[in-house]
């Protein structure tokens, strides 16, 4: 809309200029018929205005178009005025002075006011010069409007051109500002990306180990890498020594490091410096700086960064980075990275401390469990031993009621002994004291041993015990005692939860290994408890309490299979029984064993 309004003003002013020029020539010629050349030029000017009205707005409003219009209109108007021969030099001086005024005027309003002043001055000079000239008898009444119209038209074009130039300059300034802002934002994003990348590298190194000495060694090394400095050290507070002690360092000679590690820095020697670190994440101090320098913390560095390592509000350590070159110093970006390193290292130290405390508590628990289990097993074995002697009649004949009571004592004692042994096995596994001892084992011999060891457990008359072993199975190379323990635990578990039906132990080849299956027709396990039963001290919901057990058997099975590189899976439905599938990899051909090719039948 604004462009259309500007175009309309241009066309109207130009029509007015053309008409004023033609009328001026007619009046100056005493209303006689003008020459054909005048008619043609005026007609061409009017036609050009019609053609201009059809041009796009961007062309009409361009500076080049305005300049061309000024030149062309000035030429044809000047040519007509000269051809008429009715205008003296003073008029042309005035005409061109008006054009000059339009060209140099600040804006259209000032140009119009200046034109009016010039025209009034022109009339005054004519009247003051005397002679027969009179305002009312002279054609000045049309000359002055012509000059005013010319000044308005040319002033409008100049003012529009200047406005367009100012708008273009403003757009260029805004574009430059936008480009500068974009460049600053790009640099800021690049800096943020570099900082984030550096902190990601630091974080990756910090979580690669939970061993505090190893972690701190990597911290010093990665600090010198990401900050591109010469050396880095970590000092931790040792409460037993009441001092900060150098724990790790990077970038030092052996002599420098040995000197630093024997020094101890009490809080009193660093009191003022620690006060600053309580409120600042990073402090940069140069050797030439007049401010106090804790030189005891940095050996041979001319410029150092000091980064607090915190635990809550307490400063538990100081991490440093340094340049040995006197001319170098750390940039703002490096200081931001250093602040992030301090926060990451503080969290990593807190995690490592927590893990160490948990491991220490776990060791205490395991030692306590092992000690108590040993203390309980000794008197329990005595009870079982005396109970066996009484059943055998060593101390005289027993009545039927006494035999029944001793039988219950024996059963409860053995259940308690199994729980104690399971607890001992668990403590050894948790303490990682159990190692695999692989050896050649025949599957058929292993099954025969299991059959003999579990025969005493098979005391339920309504439960049938079945063995289904593929005769073509090769030998295995694994730990025979642990595999036997795994299968025995599964069989004991099946006997415990099966009152009638059958318990089937099978072995067959599957996926370059051997799969052992212990299936029963017992009470079954709900689907939501399939993972729970493999956790320590957990049993499936709905298991009657009289079934006994501490909930460790299946957990020990899984831990032993992890040790042997095997797997276990469970299929079970409530009321229909359970099937535990244990897979153990067979020996490789390099071990001299025949590869397994037979497959297990589908578990229907």
Using CA of residue 176, residue 180, residue 182, residue 186, what is the dihedral sign? positive
Question: pLDDT higher for 105 or 466?
Answer: 466
The pLDDT-based confidence of 235 (bands split at 50, 70, 90) is very high
User: Which of 360-382 are b and which e, b meaning 16 or more Cβ less than 10 Å from the residue's Cβ?
Assistant: eeeeeebeebbeebeebbeebee
Query: Quick check: 558 pLDDT over 50?
Result: yes
The percent of residues above 90 in pLDDT, for the chain, comes to 9
Q: Once rounded to an integer, what is the mean pLDDT over residues 430-446? A: 78
**Closest to 114 in 3D by CA, of 124, 104, 129:** 104
Query: Quick check: 593 pLDDT over 50?
Result: no
Token readout for 496 is 């415990």
Looking at residue 141, what is its pLDDT? Answer: 63
Please tell me the distance from the alpha carbon of residue 417 to that of residue 219, in angstroms, as a whole number. Answer: 50
pLDDT tens digits, one per residue of 237-246:
998 888 999 9
Question: pLDDT higher for 537 or 48?
Answer: 48
Looking at residue 427, what is its pLDDT? Answer: 67
- Helices 63-84, 89-104: inter-axial angle, 10-degree rounding: 170
* Cβ neighbours for 53, distance < 8 A, ≥ 6 positions apart: 7, 11
Looking at residue 125, what is its pLDDT? Answer: 62
The answer to whether the CB of 413 falls within 8 A of the CB of 387 is: yes
Backbone angles phi, psi at 14, to 5 degrees: -70, -40
Please tell me the distance from the alpha carbon of residue 319 to that of residue 297, in angstroms, as a whole number. Answer: 9
Q: Is 221 exposed, middle or buried (0-12, 13-18, 19+ CB in 10 A)?
A: middle
Question: pLDDT higher for 594 or 248?
Answer: 248
Looking at residue 433, what is its pLDDT? Answer: 63
Please tell me the distance from the alpha carbon of residue 569 to that of residue 582, in angstroms, as a whole number. Answer: 7
Q: Once rounded to an integer, what is the mean pLDDT over residues 350-359? A: 84
In the block, which residue shows the tokens 């059963």? Answer: 411
Domains of the chain: 2-175 (no CATH), 206-353 (3.30.450.40), 437-591 (3.30.565.10)
The pLDDT-based confidence of 367 (bands split at 50, 70, 90) is confident
* Cβ neighbours for 500, distance < 8 A, ≥ 6 positions apart: 460, 462, 463, 521
Query: Quick check: 16 pLDDT over 80?
Result: yes
Q: Once rounded to an integer, what is the mean pLDDT over residues 461-478? A: 86
Query: Quick check: 519 pLDDT over 90?
Result: yes
pTM score, two decimals?
0.51
Please tell me the distance from the alpha carbon of residue 81 to that of residue 22, in angstroms, as a whole number. Answer: 10
Q: Please tell me the least confidently modeled range out of 116-120, 234-238, 257-261, 263-267.
A: 116-120
The pLDDT-based confidence of 425 (bands split at 50, 70, 90) is low
Token readout for 143 is 């000359």
Please tell me the distance from the alpha carbon of residue 26 to that of residue 424, in angstroms, as a whole number. Answer: 128
Please tell me the distance from the alpha carbon of residue 5 to that of residue 16, in angstroms, as a whole number. Answer: 17
The pLDDT-based confidence of 435 (bands split at 50, 70, 90) is confident
Please tell me the distance from the alpha carbon of residue 20 to that of residue 337, in angstroms, as a whole number. Answer: 77
User: Which of 403-415 are b and which e, b meaning 16 or more Cβ less than 10 Å from the residue's Cβ?
Assistant: eeebeebbeebee
Q: Once rounded to an integer, what is the mean pLDDT over residues 539-557? A: 61
């Amino acid at each position: 809309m604004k462009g259309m309004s500007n175009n309309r003003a241009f066309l109207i002013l130009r029509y007015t200029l053309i008409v004023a020029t033609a009328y001026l020539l007619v009046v100056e010629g005493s209303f006689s018929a003008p020459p054909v050349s005048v008619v043609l030029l005026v007609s061409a000017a009017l036609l050009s205005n019609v053609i201009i009205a059809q041009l796009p707005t961007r062309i009409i409003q361009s500076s080049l178009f305005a300049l061309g219009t000024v030149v062309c209109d000035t030429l044809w108007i000047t040519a007509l005025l000269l051809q008429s021969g009715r205008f003296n030099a003073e008029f042309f001086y005035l005409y061109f002075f008006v054009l000059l005024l339009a060209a140099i005027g600040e804006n259209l309003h000032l140009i119009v006011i200046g034109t009016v002043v010039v025209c009034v001055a022109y009339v005054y000079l004519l009247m003051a010069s005397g002679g027969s000239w009179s305002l009312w008898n002279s054609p000045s009444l049309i000359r002055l409007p012509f000059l005013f119209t010319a000044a308005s038209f040319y002033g409008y074009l100049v003012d529009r051109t200047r406005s367009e130039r100012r708008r273009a300059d403003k757009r260029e300034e805004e574009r430059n500002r936008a480009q500068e802002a974009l460049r600053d934002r790009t640099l800021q994003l690049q800096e943020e990306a570099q900082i984030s990348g550096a902190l990601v590298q630091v974080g990756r190194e910090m979580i690669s180990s939970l061993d505090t000495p190893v972690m701190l060694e990597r911290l010093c090394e990665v600090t010198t890498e990401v900050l591109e400095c010469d050396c880095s050290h970590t000092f931790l507070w040792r409460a037993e020594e009441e001092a900060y002690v150098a724990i790790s360092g990077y970038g030092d000679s052996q002599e420098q490091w040995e000197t630093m590690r024997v020094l101890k820095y009490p809080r009193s020697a660093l009191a003022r410096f620690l006060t600053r670190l309580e409120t600042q994440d990073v402090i940069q101090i140069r050797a030439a700086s007049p401010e106090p320098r804790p030189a005891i913390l940095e050996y041979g560095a001319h410029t150092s960064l000091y980064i607090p390592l915190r635990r809550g509000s307490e400063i538990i350590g100081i991490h440093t980075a340094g340049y040995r070159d006197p001319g170098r110093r750390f940039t703002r970006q490096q200081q931001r990275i250093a602040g992030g390193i301090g926060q990451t290292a503080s969290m990593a130290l807190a995690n490592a401390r927590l893990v160490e405390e948990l491991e220490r508590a776990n060791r205490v628990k395991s030692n306590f469990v092992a000690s108590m289990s040993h203390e309980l097993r000794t008197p329990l074995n005595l009870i079982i031993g005396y109970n066996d002697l009484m059943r055998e009649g060593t101390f005289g004949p027993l009545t039927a009621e006494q035999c029944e009571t001793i039988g219950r004592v024996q059963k409860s004692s053995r259940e308690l002994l199994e729980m104690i042994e399971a607890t001992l096995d668990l403590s050894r596994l948790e303490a990682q004291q159990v190692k695999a001892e692989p050896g050649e084992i025949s599957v058929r011999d292993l099954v025969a041993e299991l059959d003999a060891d579990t025969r005493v457990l098979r005391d339920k008359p309504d439960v049938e015990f079945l063995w289904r072993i593929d005769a073509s199975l090769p030998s295995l190379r694994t730990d025979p005692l642990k595999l036997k323990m795994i299968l025995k635990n599964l069989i004991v578990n099946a006997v415990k939860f099966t009152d009638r039906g059958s318990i089937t132990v099978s072995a067959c080849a599957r996926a370059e290994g051997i799969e052992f299956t212990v299936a029963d027709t017992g009470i079954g396990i709900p689907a939501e408890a399939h993972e729970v039963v493999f956790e320590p001290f957990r049993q499936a919901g709905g298991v009657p309490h009289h079934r006994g057990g501490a909930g460790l058997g299946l957990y020990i099975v899984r831990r032993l299979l992890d040790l042997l590189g095997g797997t276990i899976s469970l299929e079970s439905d409530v009321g229909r029984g359970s099937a535990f599938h244990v897979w153990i990899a067979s020996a490789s051909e390099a071990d001299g064993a025949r590869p397994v090719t037979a497959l297990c039948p589908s578990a229907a």
